[in-house]
Amino acid sequence: MKNLTLFSLLFLLLACNKPVPGEIREIPVLPKPQSVSFYKGDFIMSHDATLKFDQSDIKVKEIADQVTAFVGKLSIPEKGKGNIELTIDNQADMKPSGYQIKVRRNKIRITAKNADGLFYGFQTLKQLIPSDGSGKVPFLDMTDFPAFGWRGLMLDCSRTFLPKDYVLKYIDRLAAIKMNILHLHLTDDQGWRIEIKKYPELTRICSNFDPKYAGEVNGFYTQEDIREIVAYAAKNFITVVPEIEMPGHSTEIFAAYPQFSCSGKKSAIFPFFKGPGVTEDILCAGNDSVFTFMEDVLSEVIALFPSEYIHIGGDEAPKAAWKKCSKCQNRIKKEGLKDEAELQSYFIRRIEKFINSKGRKLIGWDEILEGGLAENAAVMSWRGVQGGIEAARQGHCVVMSPTSHCYFDYSYVTTSAEKVYSYHPVPNELSVSQTKLVLGAQANMWTHIARTEETIDAQIFPRLYALAEVLWTNPVTRDYPDLEKRISKLRGYENH
């Protein structure tokens, strides 16, 4: 009888440890996790919760510091019974960048194979803690991982210079919704925005609008600013991809260095809608000193940005100047090129060799397909999806950013958040092996129309929430009204 009682007690204890399945609870996690099981009961997050983690792992320690800072600012009960555990398990059977969260009476445990997964688990935890002061987090088991590895936003810092603090704020906003690429469009006709030590005129002259356009905002990032942005992004598991435009969209360079253009004429820097419009002048492809210049610039850029990919633009390069230029025509003859499209291809291939020699990969807008794609180049498909399909068929990596769904400078009338949410980055035309070449997608925010922080924010959100979920979550579970409901429950895109 005594034994039986002990046995019953033991059985009861074991049974108590097993969570009782609970009803589905609404949790405003965005992007929606891959799978969640709920159990009856709630963990109470409190200020006296102990944070347990491996102190010897620097990356984990950095995440733990962020968790501590976040919990410290929360309005939650002072006392509770639970702890938070952050665990890296190298042997865990998880998808890349995945994580698991287990919430029980005494603890919340986030487990991941790598630090990025742990960071994403922390982003989810932030959204699980309600703003009502109760600290209540439902008992649950969550398994989560992203559908795509490239989840990006491009900010155009050339047409409108975006201050460093604004860029840093965007890193927080991207991290909160588990996006991992910030592409900075650093140069264009409207201004050169990055300090290059070897060519100080690029920022002294080429970052300023012509004085006749009074009231325009000038500016650029010093190399110190860039280091700060890149380091802050890294802490948030975001890669900053720099873009230096060539051979077109480069007339701002000729304000200081007219010798690099075909015409040799100096140009003035004009706001997008106030100046002469698209000019014919582009970098001269027949002049070797242009390549020396660009290689010098790229050397400094590569030293600043650890990104695997370096974006070289390559879009909308008008060919009229090359047609009239004797140096460019000589190059076509000497290299046995068919026409100016092949000259553009020659230009990009030559730059690609240089980028590859530095251990990096080239990515460019889909025009780099014209005249033949450089050997290892990746393509960012913007004029629709055809460029992406073509590049993948040729065995190249692709990032999708078609104007139809991913151009956030477009009006909400043409591109609603619901339309963005309907996007599928992998075109049906691709074979199974080709689909693996689609790295993901990104939103592009050009700043020629919206030119203030408020208007730019309004173009990006709420559409970026929709794209974040497209790139993370299983498309089978898409539910737009549910997305809208979750957006309304979040604390706002800062989410801090």
Tokens representing 365 are 């807008």
Q: Which segment (7-15, 24-32, 67-75, 277-285) binds Zn ion by CB under 5 A? A: 277-285
Number of residues that bind Zn ion (CB under 5 A): 6
- Residue closer to Zn ion by CB (options 224, 335) is 335
The rounded distance, in Å, linking the Cα atoms of 293 and 283 is 11
Name the burial class of residue 413, with classes exposed (0-12), middle (13-18) and buried (19+) by CB atoms within 10 angstroms of its CB. Answer: exposed
Length of the chain: 496
Beta-strand relationship, 187-188 and 191-192: antiparallel
Tokens representing 253 are 């360079």
Considering the complex, what minimum distance in angstroms separates the CB of residue 261 from Zn ion? 8
316 is catalytic: yes
Q: Does 294 bind Zn ion (CB under 5 A)?
A: no
Of 262, 304, 337, 466, the one binding Zn ion by CB under 5 A: 262
Considering the complex, what minimum distance in angstroms separates the CB of residue 200 from Zn ion? 25
54 is catalytic: no
Of 183, 185, 249, 311, the catalytic one is: 249
424 is catalytic: no
Q: Does 247 bind Zn ion (CB under 5 A)?
A: no
The rounded distance, in Å, linking the Cα atoms of 398 and 363 is 9
Considering the complex, what minimum distance in angstroms separates the CB of residue 322 from Zn ion? 6
Using alpha carbons, select from 376, 226, 219, 379 the residue that is nearest to residue 301. Answer: 226
- Residue closer to Zn ion by CB (options 327, 350) is 327
Q: Does 284 bind Zn ion (CB under 5 A)?
A: yes
Q: Does 246 bind Zn ion (CB under 5 A)?
A: no
Show the site string, 118-137: x = touches Zn ion by CB under 5 A, - = not: --------------------
Q: Cα dist. 195→140, 191, 360, 424 in Å?
A: 49, 12, 21, 38
- The residues facing 52 across adjacent strands are 85
Tokens representing 179 are 């996006």
Q: Cα dist. 291→64, 350, 368, 401 in Å?
A: 46, 8, 17, 28
Q: Which helix (H) or strand (E) holds 398?
A: strand 398-400
Q: Does 325 bind Zn ion (CB under 5 A)?
A: yes
Of 327, 361, 383, 496, the one binding Zn ion by CB under 5 A: 327
- Residue closer to Zn ion by CB (options 218, 330) is 330
Of 116, 144, 156, 188, the catalytic one is: 188
Q: Which segment (96-104, 107-115, 258-266, 352-360) binds Zn ion by CB under 5 A? A: 258-266
Hey, what's the torsion of the CAs at 298, 444, 373, 324, to 10 degrees?
Answer: -80
Expressed in percent and rounded to 5, the helix, strand and coil fractions of the chain are 40, 20, 45
Considering the complex, what minimum distance in angstroms separates the CB of residue 331 from Zn ion? 8
Of 191, 286, 314, 402, the one binding Zn ion by CB under 5 A: 286
The rounded distance, in Å, linking the Cα atoms of 30 and 173 is 12
Considering the complex, what minimum distance in angstroms separates the CB of residue 286 from Zn ion? 4
Positive or negative, the CA dihedral 27, 31, 33, 34 is positive
Show the site string, 64-103: x = touches Zn ion by CB under 5 A, - = not: ----------------------------------------
Q: Does 328 bind Zn ion (CB under 5 A)?
A: yes
Considering the complex, what minimum distance in angstroms separates the CB of residue 259 from Zn ion? 11
- Residue closer to Zn ion by CB (options 185, 319) is 319
Tokens representing 379 are 């393509």
- Residue closer to Zn ion by CB (options 344, 434) is 344
- The residue behind tokens 């190059």 is 331
Q: Which segment (82-90, 152-160, 164-172, 276-284) binds Zn ion by CB under 5 A? A: 276-284
SS3 142: strand
- The residue behind tokens 């002072």 is 78
Q: Does 368 bind Zn ion (CB under 5 A)?
A: no
Contact (CB, 8 A) for 143 and 111? no
Considering the complex, what minimum distance in angstroms separates the CB of residue 326 from Zn ion? 8
Beta-strand relationship, 83-88 and 35-44: unpaired
Considering the complex, what minimum distance in angstroms separates the CB of residue 343 from Zn ion? 9
Site for Zn ion in 391-410 (CB under 5 A): none
Of 48, 89, 224, 316, the catalytic one is: 316
Q: Which segment (193-201, 230-238, 282-290, 451-459) binds Zn ion by CB under 5 A? A: 282-290
Considering the complex, what minimum distance in angstroms separates the CB of residue 260 from Zn ion? 9
- Residue closer to Zn ion by CB (options 280, 429) is 280
- Residue closer to Zn ion by CB (options 129, 325) is 325
Q: Which helix (H) or strand (E) holds 43?
A: strand 35-44
Contact (CB, 8 A) for 480 and 429? no
The residues annotated with a catalytic role in the active site are: 188, 249, 316
Can you give the binding site for Zn ion, defined by CB under 5 A?
Answer: 262, 284, 286, 325, 327-328
